[in-house]
Structure 1
């Protein structure tokens, strides 16, 4: 094969006449280009590190300050060095090496540079102090006080230049504040009150007060030391104890998924869809390496922490007997592709450039056309990543860390990311929407349990009919980070990159591109036994998942805002009403704490006294105003975002108690309470990438996760444009108390019941808006049906 010869840089033969050395110029050229690419990347990282380190200062600012300082010193006839070299000359013979004029210039530059450092350090400190104030979050919707206006102006002034890099604000972000034990206890008791009867509440109140007066202050003292010393007093322990020390399967229990477009099918060619998607992901990685991605800014002013982006690529979770670790390498020039039980290494660069979409499609076509069979044990090898962590760690160390297995395993774990060319077809089907979407969700969440490498930072899954999605590991970052990447991919795929009329990627195949390299495994019988055992555990877990997706298009945030209610609060209250038609339960809603350095998430306890009162009134057919419950929910959300949450503080107090060997009945009971309703909103972060008004269908349909409790629900939702909300619901078939489809119907009914309180018929404007919304939904569905019909006609014509 041509590519086999090109892979050899030199060959030699020994003859009686001597040694005949034959060099491959193409191989040497590729080695040179590879090294050049590596040095360019190192230089860019060094430059970005310098730019980030001096932000909000800049080299231009340095030249300006030094130039103005030197000019002023010359104008007023003053010594620009401030007699610096005169003082140094008293101890060192400086005049031997430098004339008086040079001493003045060098001294002036040094003093000017010092002045510049003082200016940007002062600006950074002032910005950090300004960002510690969160009063702007508590203003009434639609009103901005003069205090907030002045604060916003000052933040913009001290933020420096207009185009910050991804990590520019990291050193200016404040540390996560540590709440007092008293405040946390009081907020916990408020959250527990609606879930307990009087006797249970009095007992818990006694435990809480004993902790507050006894062990609590001692644990708080140690935690306060950590909050002073560490950048973030929560994040490292959260990553270690919540994620990496978990010994159960991460498939379903931890990993989550992201979906493709719901109604749009850009191409039915699997290789072509993979080509565009992989190329878009690699372009995103290049922007990430160059720190060219814009930092997320609330209200285009308040920066969010970007630390979680650092481990998006070239990252894998490594199993251990006691705890896992996260392996991240600086660069990786290949991906690994799984298809029909085989693993392939696919280099992503040639001639020093990232492969074009058509070249990637060419590589995928070669893999799809490869007739070879899996080696013994190879097909189900990844089931080890889907089962319990201890057997995986033991099998990895005993069987995969030696011989050629070591090389193949390193190739997988050090790949930029993992790709699965799935041999099943998944897609939204208008004629069978429920089963088609449920099957699609389950495939992304767990697949066959052996065709995704669940330890990779993320898996790109491309199905046989061109639909795709992601499965992401959770320990390295939270869902909004992978969501940011996915928005970039979907915005580029059909519009900016596009496809030919035949459905191929645009461009021409590469004439001399070396083909993918098949990974070689030698898996002994003992390892195959471990694989079978892990697969059995994983299949039992996967078969138990009850997934259901609801594209709720009766109304969306446009109508909710017309009702003067927060869309998130509206949905959360609807979830409580839907669940209360069974019972109230402890509810987890994820919120971010990324306004602080290295912030991740905090919990909003959405089941409040006010929400319960509203839900009871609806069930008793004596509804009260939703506004009080919505206002309370927004207050709790703001508290969680600004460091005033409950659960991360209690978690860290518990960790300290374990280090000290102290037992707390209060902490043990609080942390063992099951989250029977775990919820999360998938935010659309880059609205500017999508034309939601004209093409609401060209956006991700969101993603989901498995249930947290055996008898509970996992609910994820994404608000798309003005008129659509997608719900992703999961539970377990084995629980007699849960049913995802039943709960989905209850959610729809709760949404409509709450909307009915606003009496649309009595308000002509809202009634008109509602009718327009329904009309837009019908039009969008008809457009999607027509597109699907046209795609089928095109495929049929191509087949002919």
Structure 2
């Protein structure tokens, strides 16, 4: 034992320091002597234990209190006293508001010598008042749910609000209360309705009509009619039954079959990314920036776990589901042989940091409190200064999470189920989140033409082994102080991560701040134990699996063709002046760009949210319509007049807006057909129509990333404090993935991805086509305003 310790010390002299700090952290020591047991206690450590326990109990008390407030919402616990006092007052006035129920309760209570008649009466009245109060709460929740089921407001034109919508808005505002908590509205949110089969098939056939010639369309129409007549009634019954039983008839199947059962790599194919501030870098010190941001994340997590964040509301009125936010922290996707599962744990007190092939465990608490930003900076700087080499197999270990899921599941069971490998893997999978202290510098630099492209690719896949792709998200800190996030997709959608990211960036810049030298503010405890280096014993067979996963992931990463375009000719401000929906404008520009790029139209996917329903996630808007194709053909026909083009544009934009609204209100096409297909597989029913629908490729996949969900930064006062948003990888081998973000009023950012291996695609070419389409449509809509903008 002594020889082994001496050997380790000779290899790494830092071990002595670590052991000394660990020795200081011991809470008590005892020694057996001839005179008895000599017990020595460390007052400092015992004080930390006391504070930690006190913090734990305080957190439980706050969660319990907020749970009660959420459970009785839109009423309040104090309303119970009002009901109680009212009942007692009527009894003293010899009026029985219960119509005999209090007497009935009194007769059913057990007789006891310790309870007087008066006590029996008071207890009976209390039970009745409590039951009445709870019944009133249920009634209020039912009324509120009925109000939230009203969706006519979303189909009304801007500035033309009906009297019924005005009345509805006042009622919703009244029922919403003054200071709702994050989950206050959850029980009142309506369930996602199941559309009728007739409506879904009619809309589906309408969506594919512009993409199919007459013969193919007639064949598809025949398949659809046969399905509607023979198979759909039975499948629809089971789906309606599920909608009565489950909170949401789509979400659980969507998570399982679209994400968790997939055996292909989640890197590039599923995970997405979010970028740092576009123009501002608060500090160029890597450790300091990471310290501030990690502290801000811990603040956000505390508010999230206590349910103290304000719920997000459409138009500031209509509440949206907050269920996805529950799994933001302490969450990992665990690989399985046939299907993965999402592991979510309660409050985790550490994170794992990756730097130059080594994994370190960093504690986030000290004495019952979060580590201060300056303390976190110290810990991260220690890791940056650590010059030890990775252990055999450690450097590219995370490539297992980047490759196919089946080999990773096999390796996890075979090589990581015991010893130090199990302990170290548990440390990663149970951490609050994952942090990579990158050894490269990235970010947007206007002097470097492709800087945004390299930045996006680094966030999307990195080196294929320096992000833990299974974690709910990986925070990436670059050497120049820039940041980014890579997020796993199964547990939540991009707006959820965007909500957290906006809070973190605003808190970092406007609340925490930095010293003049770029360090975190404040003086923390300098005697914290150094981060613990995770230990691995990875056999050669496992190293071969890691190598294979890395090789496969590297091929995927190298095939990603990315182009980032900062379009600053105009923004949503100018688009709204032309009385056009900014989203419809972009989608029609994408259709025009697609036609110019490939000479044909394709099935187009645009993600919309269904979070106005409980546990809602997304729905598909099929943006390629007969109206949009007519407009595009008119734009390409030189003989068509601008007045006709403008008329066709208005029709196409109105059509798109209507489809988007239908998707948001539960009348979409694709989630319904997807669930019908799942039911058919359970019942062993072969449906040629559903097979055909589910196998159609989305060659243009698009998504708008929301900005300013929290309004923590006044962009009029601080116009440079904007993010470039985020993006995702290509969905089809021969198609494009496009994420677009309205940044303020005068900037639109496009994140375009495709594959180098496809001879049909070129991200830069497509980006140029988008830019030209935007300018052409803007000139069509408002040539006068466009000329003034250029001047």
How far off its partner does 1:290 sit? Answer: 1.2
Question: Is it true that 1:454 corresponds to 2:456 in the alignment?
Answer: no
Q: Which among 332, 335, 357 is matched to residue 319 of structure 1?
A: 335
Counterpart-to-counterpart distance in 2, 1:243 and 1:93: 56
Deviation at 1:221, TM superposition (A): 1.1
Matched, 1:713 2:728: no
Report the CA distance shift for 1:494/1:93 in structure 2 as closer, same or farther (over 3 A): closer
**Match for 2:586 among 554, 571, 584?**
571
Separation in structure 2 between the aligned mates of residue 15 and residue 120 of structure 1, nearest angstrom: 67
RMSD over aligned Cα atoms: 1.5
Is 1:363 matched up with 2:369? no
Paired residue for 1:646, among 643, 660, 669?
A: 669
Determine the structure 1 residue equivalent to 2:91. Answer: 73
**C-alpha displacement of 1:696:** 2.1
Please give the alpha-carbon distance, in whole angstroms, between the structure 1 residues aligned to 2:307 and 2:261.
31
Hey, what's the Cα distance between the residues in 1 that align with 2:94 and 2:237?
Answer: 57
2:138 counterpart residue number: 121
1:685 CA drift (Å): 4.1
Q: 1:418 aligns with which of 424, 434, 448?
A: 434
- How far apart, in 1, do the equivalents of 2:106 and 2:651 lie? 74
Distance 1:97-1:566 versus aligned 2 partners, 3 A rule: same
1:36 Cα shift? Answer: 2.1
Once the two structures are TM-superposed, the CA of residue 43 in structure 1 deviates from its matched residue by 2.1
For residues 204-283 of structure 1, what are the structure 2 equivalents within 5 Å?
A: 204-283=220-299
1:465: Cα distance to partner?
A: 0.7
Residue 169 of structure 2: aligned partner: 152
Q: Give the match for residue 27 of structure 1.
A: 45
**Count of residues in Structure 1 that have an aligned counterpart in Structure 2:** 765
The aligned counterpart of 1:4 is 22
State the SS of the aligned residue for 1:748: helix
Q: Deviations over 1:570-597 (max 9, x none)?
A: 0010001000112211000000000100
Deviation at 1:339, TM superposition (A): 0.5
Distance across 1 between alignment mates of 2:604 and 2:308: 38
Q: 1:545 aligned to 2:560?
A: yes
Corresponding residue for residue 499 of structure 2? 484
Q: How many angstroms apart in 2 are the aligned matches of 1:90 and 1:273?
A: 68
Query: CA shift at 1:82, angstroms?
Result: 5.6
Which runs of no fewer than 5 residues in structure 2 stay unpaired?
1-16
Question: How much does 1:667 deviate?
Answer: 0.5
Task: Work out the CA distance in 1 between the residues paired with 2:62 and 2:710.
Answer: 29
Q: Is the 8 A contact 2:607 2:703 kept in 1?
A: yes
CA contact (8 A) 1:48 1:290 kept: yes
Q: For residue 780 of structure 1, what is the aligned residue in structure 2?
A: none
Q: Scaled by the length of structure 2, what TM-score is found?
A: 0.95
Q: Is 2:503–2:710's contact at 8 Å kept on the other side of the alignment?
A: no
Taking the aligned partners of 1:247 and 1:486, their CA distance within structure 2 comes to 29
For the 8 Å contact 1:81–1:110, the answer to whether it is kept is no
Among 455, 477, 491, the alignment partner of 1:440 is: 455
Query: Could you report, residue by residue, the CA deviation over 1:597-634 in whole angstroms, capped at 9, with x for unpaired residues?
Result: 00000000000100000011111132512111100000
- CA–CA distance in 2 between the matches of 1:85 and 1:446? 67
Residue-by-residue CA offset, 1:136-163 (whole Å, 9 max, x unaligned): 011111111101011112222333x211
Residue 37 of structure 1, aligned match among 28, 43, 55: 55
Aligned partner of 1:52 in structure 2 is 70
Say which of 703, 712, 727 aligns to 2:750.
Answer: 727
Q: What CA distance in whole angstroms lies between the structure 1 residues aligned with 2:485 and 2:112?
A: 67
In structure 2, do the counterparts of structure 1 residues 92 and 412 end up closer, same or farther at CA, with 3 Å as the change threshold?
closer
Query: Does 1:615 find its partner at 2:632?
Result: yes
Tell me the equivalent position of 1:688. 711
Residues 89, 117 of structure 1: alpha-carbon distance in 2 compared, 3 angstrom cutoff: closer
Aligned equivalent of 1:784 = none
**C-alpha contact (below 8 Å) 1:81/1:107 kept by paired residues:** no
1:495 to 485, 510, 523: 510
1:89 Cα deviation from its structure 2 partner: 5.3
Whether 2:681 is the aligned partner of 1:658: answer yes
Partners in 1 of 2:256 and 2:103 — Cα distance?
55
Instruction: With the length of structure 1 as denominator, give the TM-score of the two structures.
Output: 0.94
Contact 2:28–2:40 (CA under 8 A) maintained in structure 1: yes
Distance in 2 separating the partners of 1:93 and 1:674: 69
Q: Return 439-448 or 7-16, whichever deviates more.
A: 7-16
User: Secondary structure, in 3 states, of the residue corresponding to 1:515?
Assistant: coil
Cα deviation for residue 28 of structure 1 reads: 2.6
Deviations 1:634-664 (A, max 9, x none): 0000000000000000000110111111111
The correspondence for 1:513, drawn from 520, 528, 533, is: 528
- Shift in Å, 1:79: 4.6
Distance 1:150 1:508 in 2: 55
Match of 1:794 in 2: none
Q: 1: distance between equivalents of 2:102 and 2:500?
A: 53
Whether the 8 Å CA contact 2:102–2:125 is kept in 1: the answer is: no
Partner of 1:304: 320
CA contact (8 A) 2:502 2:710 kept: no
Asked whether the 8 Å contact 2:279–2:722 carries over to 1, the reply is no
**Distance verdict in 2 for CA 1:108–1:93, change over 3 Å:** closer
The answer to whether the 8 A contact 1:696-1:720 is kept is no
Report the alpha carbon displacement of residue 703 of structure 1 after superposing the two structures with TM. Answer: 0.1
Question: Does residue 1:593 correspond to 2:616, yes or no?
Answer: no
C-alpha displacement of 1:289: 1.1
| Comparing 12-21 and 64-73, the one that deviates more | 12-21
Could you tell me which residue of structure 1 aligns to residue 355 of structure 2?
A: 339
User: What is the SS of the residue equivalent to 2:781?
Assistant: coil
- Residue among 478, 483, 487 paired with 1:468: 483
CA deviations on 1:396-438 (whole Å, 9 max, x unpaired) are 11001111111111110000000000000002122113x1111
